[in-house]
Amino acid sequence: MNASGILGATPEHIVRLASYGLAAVVTKTFTEKPREGYSPPIILKLRNCGYINAVGLANPGAELLPQVVRKGKELGLVTIVSVGGSSIDEFVKVSTVAIDSGADMLELNLGCPHTKGYGLDIGSDPLNVYEVVKAVSSLSSVPVVAKLGLSDNYIKSSGKALEGGARALTLINTVKAMIIDVYSAKPVLSNVFGGMSGPPIHPIAVKVIYDVYEEYEPEIVGVGGVVDWVSAAELILAGAKALQVGSALSTKPKETIDSILEGLEIWVKELGLTRIIDLVGLAHKK
């Protein structure tokens, strides 16, 4: 599936994502009211690889959610709504709209590192994670996935999300980073810092997924620097049962997805196996 934040804010975006050959689509993070986000510059391509962005959770607001979910369902795709909020009440309100719209799953954004009062500001506190997940999980039988970012408490936050009723964890979100212009001597992003994505964070994602799987063996959606079948396979071996692709969709998205799937299929056969699920968490086997 795509990582939240890569398109997914309008029905037209869903059509475009569907053309990439994904098994499921994840919407952009929706909040109760529309958010304009930060002023440009909001995204930078790193010199070597990857990106740093500080979009500020820009989205059209929950009012547009029914149209977005409807388009995903029309296309026969599992449709996962990314839900954002600065309070339990906002998480509940947006989740209710998503559920009423027919969302197949909810992914709670508890990991965005660059929007004050949202994401990681909530997800780095295990008790906050528990309370948000518990409140949303109690709304319906629609599965809830908690998306967490890198923090000192990621293992405890993961445990509290599961305790609160999360059926799975999405690990990880972008990682706090910044770039300074050496001539103006000023940070380049309007928000000063942002979230780094792409290959630079891949080893971090592998470590977080490995640690959380070692502790709880939960259902994990792995995300972070998946650009080819090898990077995808690493997350599977660490414990991920599903995958999201983000930055790699910025260029030749259909070719990237096809290449990852083809490579994984060959990998499984070369190992003499028939099911990729037999490789989930294999790096933990003694």
Residue positions annotated with a catalytic role: 112
Mapping DSSP to helix (H, G, I), strand (E, B) and coil, where does residue 163 land?
helix
- Cα distance between residue 160 and residue 162, in whole Å: 5
| Peptide bond just before 40 cis, omega within 30 deg | no
Helix (H) or strand (E) holding 167: none
Helix (H) or strand (E) holding 75: none
Q: Which of 105, 67, 81 lies closest to 31, judged by CA?
A: 81
Q: Which of 113, 76, 91, 96 lies closest to 194, judged by CA?
A: 113
- Cα distance between residue 154 and residue 86, in whole Å: 19
- Cα distance between residue 27 and residue 81, in whole Å: 5
Spatial contact of 250 and 210, defined as CB atoms under 8 Å apart: no
Proportion of the chain in helix, strand, coil states, percent, rounded to 5: 40, 20, 40
Residue 246: count other Cβ atoms within 10 Å of its Cβ.
Answer: 24
Residue 267: count other Cβ atoms within 10 Å of its Cβ.
Answer: 17
Residue 122: count other Cβ atoms within 10 Å of its Cβ.
Answer: 24
β-strand partners of 195: 53, 176
Parallel/antiparallel/unpaired status of strands 175-177 and 194-197: antiparallel
